[in-house]
Amino acid sequence: MKKYLSEFVGTFVLVLVACGVAVVTNANVVATSLAFGLVIVAMAYSIGNVSGCHINPAVSLAMLLTGKMKVKEFCGYVVSQLLGALAGSAVLSVLLDSCKALGANSYGMPGNLATNVWIALLVETILTFIFVTAILGVTSRKEHSNIAGLVIGLTLVLVHLIGISFTGTSVNPARSLAPALLQGGEVLKQVWVFILAPLVGSALASLFYKVVLKEEK
């Protein structure tokens, strides 16, 4: 239960703070990118020793596919992450006194360089592949444990720097689903893209890790 509670809290903080920064800065690319990355760094060095600080179903899927988690534990992680994300979005809506803008992802809307669903799917798949590959790589060696949180946080900053202008950057189904459920409308209709693409990107990263990066014992 400590692991699941840690995942709940970590995802809560991610959605509340990082999505909150996206809303109050009108999705300023640098500010929003740093917010997401810095939250990961903060959570990695606080809850990482308990749960590994996945706070993202796509990351948990990668751990499952690479044999670092069991199915039952994976399910518990995902439920905790979704509940934490929903709580974060709910608190953010209270603070803003509105559900109109909670940092949901989108495509084909004013300001989105992803003009159609195919571009959105491609962007999110590639960015999640990059993000999850970095996680699997840096966590595969014990000697990297002291810098893993920093590397992962900076990689999240990196993918946000390019992805925000296209889709707002998801790479995290929980982070996308929660605000979409509360905002409703077109972003809720589009949310399947931001659930499917990160999971596909994670699966591809897991395959790449096992075939190319994993060192034989």
pLDDT at 143: 83
Cα–Cα distance for residue pair 50/54, rounded to 1 Å: 11
Domain 2-213 has CATH 1.20.1080.10: yes
Domain-wise residue ranges, the chain: 2-213
What is the sign of the dihedral through the CA atoms of 39, 147, 160 and 125? negative
User: Can you tell me the distance from the alpha carbon of 35 to that of 200, in angstroms, rounded to the nearest whole number?
Assistant: 25
First-residue to last-residue Cα distance in the chain: 32
Residue 216 has what pLDDT?
64
Q: Of all helices (H) and strands (E), which one includes residue 192?
A: helix 185-208
Buried b (16+ CB within 10 A) or exposed e, 147-181: ebbebbbbbbbbbbbbbbbbbbbbbbbbbbbbbbb
Place of tokens 């509670």: 5
Check residue 41 and give its pLDDT: 97
Ramachandran area for residue 103 (φ above 0: left; ψ -120 to 50: alpha; else beta): left
Q: Over the chain (217 residues), what is each successive 10-residue block's mean pLDDT? A: 97 98 97 98 96 97 97 98 98 96 96 96 98 95 88 98 98 98 97 98 97 79
